[in-house]
Structure 1
């Protein structure tokens, strides 16, 4: 009987033809990732990582998206992954809440850019296919461990993403099935990531390491560096370490005919995905009006238990923590009627009216609610109750962002970053990525020479 690791390796080595819908979903995921990497590239945590380049990076051969510096291949993968995920504005796989593009996309792009410099460019279609394969492995591992893995405190994007990055890079390198199994073993040796770090700079370390570690895993395997025979299903392998009852069928079942990239979604707001319906409900109440936020006695959120588990964070003190705080998301949406990047900044967190309203929030868990649904109940000082129910939030599988929405989100992040980039040209180039002779050539267009005042 062929094991899980060998099955995954065989699939990556010789995948079936991908339907057009899968290629489109992969391209849209990469567009979204490049946009979030531009938007996050100027954050303090990314500045600090870039400041380490002189001490740790090799020759500056690769692009840092949204930044003027360059880095070696591994550090470019690391920093671009951290930038893409830092605002929690990147894609989200349902139901695992994995952000598959942040660890996988930067690894693929860094390798493709290096191969192009060596006269071996990767065409856009091959790049997208490698990315999709990496995302598939990432999300299927997540499905096998969901929901226990995240509930135990593992940052599932990083712990599963390192394997996806390894497989995507291995695909581009043309690794044999046995080499791909070795790469899975090297990814196992480098996996990390804790939910305890969310809302802090530390979170970016594991996401960056997932991209870097996965890429390094593939490069090592290509050079004959060997690993365990069963890194995924072994007695002390990845699955056994992270769940008492992993769902093996979630990894191998319908492999190549059911594609997890089709369950990937894009956020309309820069925060944890379970806050999307909360924000949508609150923005609708703000727009409707008819009440003063100072007259709200209490706010009750009814939703999936994961909403409380992920976002019950009162009294946050930074914009990063605000991205995973229901108290802040509710208050800033109701008080100011906004939920953009500025609404999750340090300045927004310091607003006294917002903080006061956030203190009035309570949760009610209901496992029958979907992740993209919520009920908000306002109890007013005059005895009124104001309700709003969201059954399928925008950005979820039931109401996905359109290409127009993604393009607007992309441009907004360029504006937030205050860099002189031609957003329309970049978007047009990325929308034709699957026809490009060199799939990584667009990266040069993401590197600004001038910053706006």
Structure 2
């Protein structure tokens, strides 16, 4: 019943009606891009890029700051990793985590770059999807409280995958789990830390 109510609220939401929310969302997107570009030359980002190139696949999605197209899954993984790599990305109080790294990475991976027959993507539709994802993640973060975090879980991973991956009514449904789904906040080593996204 609660799930049905949540999806009805999402379906009937009008996220672009509030100018302050739109301004904050644009700032979040700019922060995501800036954090990503700052990390693009880091050794671990380059290592992940080489792994993706070796893996290959059907090129259909973009990478922030890099020219090759990659698979949607690879784009979600890489863009989220890169956005959170230096830990400069946004933090949201209700989320108790970094929402843009997961939400924007999932949304960007679903832009139909190689499928012109899909519905037209507009900036407004993308922005609305991002705002909805943030709102859902924030409400879920408030609902579970800080006990989740105190037990060792990180909301960026446990809430973010679902909000970026499934909290969007504007793109075609994604078939992959969110990057970092179900991760904890106590990974071993700096490189593992980045996979919180």
The TM-score, its normalising length taken from structure 1, stands at 0.40
Match of 1:197 in 2: 187
Q: Is the counterpart of residue 65 in structure 1 residue 55 in structure 2? A: no
Q: Is the counterpart of residue 14 in structure 1 residue 4 in structure 2? A: no
Distance in 2 between residues matched to 1:205 and 1:57, nearest whole Å:
21
Deviations 1:274-324 (A, max 9, x none): xxxxxxxxxxxxxxxxxxxxxxxxxxxxxxxxxxxxxxxxxxxxxxxxxxx
Deviation at 1:146, TM superposition (A): 2.2
Deviations 1:349-405 (A, max 9, x none): xxxxxxxxxxxxxxxxxxxxxxxxxxxxxxxxxxxxxxxxxxxxxxxxxxxxxxxxx
Distance in 1 between residues matched to 2:146 and 2:154, nearest whole Å:
12
Deviation at 1:75, TM superposition (A): 0.8
* Structure 1, unpaired ranges of 5+: 208-453
Q: Which structure would you say has the larger Rg?
A: 1
Deviation at 1:120, TM superposition (A): 3.5
Match of 1:80 in 2: 79
Deviation at 1:97, TM superposition (A): 2.8
Match of 1:94 in 2: 93
Aligned-pair RMSD on alpha carbons? Answer: 2.6
Q: How many residue pairs end up in the alignment?
A: 195
Q: Give yes or no for contact 1:32–1:91 (8 Å, CA) kept in 2.
A: yes
Distance in 2 between residues matched to 1:151 and 1:126, nearest whole Å:
36
Distance in 2 between residues matched to 1:159 and 1:46, nearest whole Å:
23
Deviation at 1:90, TM superposition (A): 0.6
Q: Give yes or no for contact 1:158–1:193 (8 Å, CA) kept in 2.
A: yes
Q: Give yes or no for contact 1:116–1:122 (8 Å, CA) kept in 2.
A: no
Deviation at 1:191, TM superposition (A): 2.4
Distance in 2 between residues matched to 1:113 and 1:39, nearest whole Å:
26
SS of the equivalent of 1:70 reads: strand
Q: Give yes or no for contact 1:38–1:66 (8 Å, CA) kept in 2.
A: yes
* Structure 2, unpaired ranges of 5+: none
Deviation at 1:5, TM superposition (A): 1.3
Q: How does 1:396-435 map to 2 (within 5 A)?
A: none
Given the superposition, is the C-alpha separation of residues 81 and 109 from structure 1 closer, same or farther in structure 2, using an over 3 Å criterion? Answer: same
Q: Give yes or no for contact 1:60–1:71 (8 Å, CA) kept in 2.
A: yes
Deviation at 1:198, TM superposition (A): 6.9
Match of 1:223 in 2: none
Match of 1:419 in 2: none
The TM-score, its normalising length taken from structure 2, stands at 0.86
Deviations 1:49-74 (A, max 9, x none): 11112343412232211224331122
Distance in 2 between residues matched to 1:57 and 1:144, nearest whole Å:
40
SS of the equivalent of 1:69 reads: strand
Match of 1:109 in 2: 108
